[in-house]
Structure 1
Amino acid sequence: MGRLALAALAAFLTDQLSKLYVMYGMGMRVGDMVEILPPLVVFKFGWNPGINFGLFSGSPDFARWVLVALAVFISGILLWWARKAPRKPIVLIGVGLIVGGAVANALDRVVYGAVADFLNMSCCGIDNPFIFNIADIWIFAGAFALVIFDTDPKKDAGKEAS
């Protein structure tokens, strides 16, 4: 199995297993809070029917299916893009993290009607009101890898020569 597939599988499994543990192992329900390493890491359980930061959370039910379709579509585009030209291993891992995280959140929408969020991180006197999940971390890390490491040496050499 390639790096991309392994990264996608790891992202998907770590997200889904963490959510199952929080919901069933810890028995957390909406509004429950457990301080893990306060204030840096606090579990605050909630369902997010919208997108990041709860945007569009008041949308009609069909919006969840639009978000599921969008996650599948973007994942497909990323997979196609990653395979059309040679990519650095870190970029393939980044694509895998995005795809695994997107599919994990899409599965939540299909099964539960919303995404399970439970992580809250605050630091340095800043009280962060938002909660997120492991899939969100993987999506962010994958996007970061694409932005930082997806460079074309031929294009970069052309820019330096100019």
Structure 2
Amino acid sequence: MNRNLFIILLVAFNIAIDQISKVIVRSTMIRGGKGQINVIQDYFQLIWVENKGAFLGMGSDMNPTLRLVFLLVLPAIVLAYVTYYIVKTKELDRMSLIAFCCIVGGGIANVFDRIVFGQVTDFFYIDLGGVFKTGIFNVADMSVTAGMIVLLFSGILSGKKKEKTA
């Protein structure tokens, strides 16, 4: 498959899955945890909240101008640069390319929410009995996080390959 087509399809897939999940949540759930759904007892729940901030609501109480700059303008610039980077850098291994596409797709999906709705729809919540507990997040957040983890492992693996060849 053509490399640029692969990039476009993977980014679009990440955006589509996120936006479809958010449409389903907005049309079937009650906002604010009143209609929470226990998927796996209290360990994995669906709780619809709207987040005006970033990760875990950070920045939601910021001045609206600062929020615009830090949560919309700067992320849009970074996403544009990363997109440019992955299209132009032909030497990227497939794992890194996939990771960057997940990061860009998830980032674009959340920026889209901020532009269209002024906030981001979040709905997943995990609590493994106090051992591991998350904030409320969405599919785009999972894409970005998975992309970062894959990118980290890709960097470690390529570093080990370079050590072996040296």
Give the TM-score normalised by the residue count of structure 1. Answer: 0.86
Q: CA contact under 8 A between 1:64 and 1:113: conserved in structure 2? A: no
Q: Hey, what's the Cα distance between the residues in 2 that align with 1:89 and 1:18?
A: 27
CA contact (8 A) 1:6 1:96 kept: no
8 Å contact kept, 1:105–1:135 = yes
Rate the CA distance shift 1:156–1:129 in 2: closer, same or farther, 3 A: closer
Equivalent in 50, 72, 77 of residue 76 of structure 2: 72
Q: State the partner residue of 1:53.
A: 56
State how 1:3-42 maps to structure 2 within 5 Å: 3-24=6-27, 26-32=28-34, 33-42=36-45
Unpaired segments ≥5 residues, structure 2:
none
- 1:106 matched to 2:111? The reply is yes
Q: Which has the higher helix share?
A: 2
TM-aligned CA deviation for residue 50 of structure 1: 0.9
Distance 1:127 1:143 in 2: 19
**Amino acid of the structure 2 residue aligned with 1:80:** Y
TM-score (structure 2 length as normaliser):
0.84
Structure 2 distance, partners of 1:10, 1:105, is 14
**How many residues align structurally?**
160
- How much does 1:28 deviate? 2.3
Residue ranges of structure 1 left out of the alignment (5+ in a row): none
Task: Note the aligned Cα RMSD (angstroms).
Answer: 2.4
Distance 1:41 1:108, change over 3 A: same
Whether contact under 8 Å (1:88, 1:150) holds in the other structure is no
Q: Distance in 1 between matches of 2:61 and 2:110?
A: 18
